[in-house]
Amino acid sequence: MFQKLRLPDPDNIGRRYPHQVSGGQLQRVMTAMALCSEPNLIVFDEPTTALDVTTQIDVLAAIKDAIRDTGVAAPLHYTSPRGRCPNLGPDHDAASRQDGGV
């Protein structure tokens, strides 16, 4: 799963402490941990908050690929700014709520 989420040194990254990895790597490790239990649903609540824009793009792309490959439903939640959520594609039934009803 670490390799699927594009983590460096996937054989050893799970042995590191949180302070030994970057914010983007930590987010992908946590995603891998969540996916390992083979859930039907994972809710990503602001998965890239506090990451720089380049890292946000990389993390969201890795998450998108991983959820597509596993088939898990994975809504993304952001409070602001809008537009950072990638299109999860037609395989996922999803609704977007912005300033009102769905």
Distances (CA, A) of 49 to 10, 76, 81: 24, 12, 10
Reduced to 3 states (helix: H, G, I; strand: E, B; else coil), residue 95 is coil
Would you tell me which CATH number, out of the four given (3.80.30.20, 3.30.70.100, 2.60.260.20, 3.40.50.300), belongs to the domain 13-77?
3.40.50.300
Instruction: Output the pLDDT for position 20.
Output: 95
What is the domain partition of the chain in residue ranges?
Answer: 13-77
Distances (CA, A) of 71 to 51, 63, 91, 97, 99: 26, 12, 8, 22, 29
Arithmetic mean of pLDDT, 54-60: 87
% of the chain surpassing 90 pLDDT: 22
- The pLDDT tens digits of the residues spanning 3-31 come to 988 899 999 999 999 999 998 899 889 88
Instruction: Output the pLDDT for position 12.
Output: 94
Instruction: Output the pLDDT for position 78.
Output: 67
Max CA-CA distance within the chain?
45
Instruction: Please name the residue that has the structure tokens 């996916």.
Output: 35
Helix residue ranges, H only, 5-102: 23-36, 53-70
Give yes or no for residue 94 having a pLDDT over 70.
no
